[in-house]
Amino acid sequence: MAATTHDTYRPFPGQPLGPDSLTWRLFGDQRMLLVGMRAGLLQTMHPAIGQALKDHDSTYFQGPMKRILRSLPQILGVVYDADARGTAARVRDYHRDLKGELPGGGRYSALNPEVFYWPHATFFEMQLAWREHFGKPLSEARKERLFQESRQWFSLYGVSATGTPATYAEFTDYWQQTVTEVLEPNAIARATFNRTKSGIFGPSPYKYLPELLWRPLSDTQFDGMAWVLRGTFPEVLRDRMGLGWTAAEELRLRAIGAGIQHTFGRLPVQARLLPQARQAWRREKNEPTRVLAG
């Protein structure tokens, strides 16, 4: 088990995280879903990842939310599954054959450390994002601990970490550089913020909910999530894409965030968790009673 003293943390490569980790308390919180579309879109805006999805994923044009909902249970499994190493190996192996050519020249491989690390970076950062917008922001010490845990989590994939950040300070530089200099607006990004068709979430997934009702409900849900995405999107990308965001909208988002934080703060800890995380705590015969406020 990794050594911990207060908020210091020394990652142990190849060792799964457990209920003593900060990640177990944050990554399984239901509020993470509020920034799920954001993480998915940031992933697809990486040129190599966007091209890999276009070349190898038939659901590419169904949008980032569909992709994040499909992949999130597997990523949660790398944190919460009893066989976290096995889950991580399967996730890695899904990407072995994702190779091809970039439109501007050169080749990409999903297992290239630079490419494979970016989705992981968004999964780490989404924990900070939901706390920032819908909970209580983490202290710098907690951010450093959470980041070091993310390095241990990444090691489970068995992919080289060459060139990836080693400290939270390095991560913030890496994040800013990637967002500013690497990510590119693409068809998915434009379609997300400029929806021109109904039914972007696809057909109704429920037998009891007919298409006639599902389509307007899902469209309304998508529009609400796209609004939250616009408000939580990195400002530099919002400006590059010409996305408006007013002071009144910012106040509204903050008010919604405060209301969500207040509501979740009143819930029992188990009620805050996604089912996968809740089951993991029960499996460990442990109750997450010591949680961070907010």
pLDDT of residue 54: 85
Residue 6 lies in a domain: no
Residue 4 lies in a domain: no
Is 48 or 206 the better-scoring residue by pLDDT?
Answer: 48
Residue 275 lies in a domain: yes
- Whether residue 47 contacts residue 101, with contact meaning beta carbons closer than 8 Å, is answered with no
- Whether residue 232 contacts residue 31, with contact meaning beta carbons closer than 8 Å, is answered with no
DSSP collapsed to 3 states, 161-178: CCCCCCCHHHHHHHHHHH
What does the pLDDT average to over 145-150? 97
Residue that the structure tokens 């070091």 belong to:
148
Residue 8 lies in a domain: no
Residue 7 lies in a domain: no
DSSP collapsed to 3 states, 63-111: CHHHHHHHHHHHHHHHHHCCCHHHHHHHHHHHCCCCEEECCCCCEEECC
Q: How many C-beta neighbours within 10 Å does residue 6 have?
A: 7
pLDDT of residue 4: 44
Strands 107-109, 8-9: pairing kind: unpaired
How far apart CA 118 and CA 281 sit, in angstroms, is 28
Domain count, the chain: 1
pLDDT of residue 138: 95
Collapsing DSSP states into helix, strand and coil, what is residue 29? strand
- Whether residue 63 contacts residue 200, with contact meaning beta carbons closer than 8 Å, is answered with yes
**CA distances for 36 relative to 68, 121, 178, angstroms:** 6, 13, 19
What does the pLDDT average to over 75-103? 93
The 8-class DSSP code of residue 179 comes to I
Q: Which pairs with CB-CB distance under 8 Å and at least 24 residues apart come from 19-22?
A: 19/280, 19/281, 19/284, 19/286, 19/288, 21/149, 22/142, 22/145, 22/146, 22/149, 22/292
Residue 133 lies in a domain: yes
Least confident of 32-41, 96-105, 138-147, 191-200: 191-200
Supply the mean pLDDT for the chain.
88
Name the band, by pLDDT with cuts 50, 70 and 90, for residue 79.
very high
Domain of residue 33 covers 13-283
What is the Cα 287 distance to its own chain's centre? 24
Residue 164 lies in a domain: yes
Would you call 279 exposed, middle or buried from its count of C-beta atoms within 10 A (0-12, 13-18, 19+)?
Answer: middle
Is 202 or 128 the better-scoring residue by pLDDT?
Answer: 128
Residue 293 lies in a domain: no
Is the pLDDT score of 236 beyond 90?
A: yes
What does the pLDDT average to over 211-233? 86
Is the pLDDT score of 1 beyond 50?
A: no
Is the pLDDT score of 3 beyond 60?
A: no
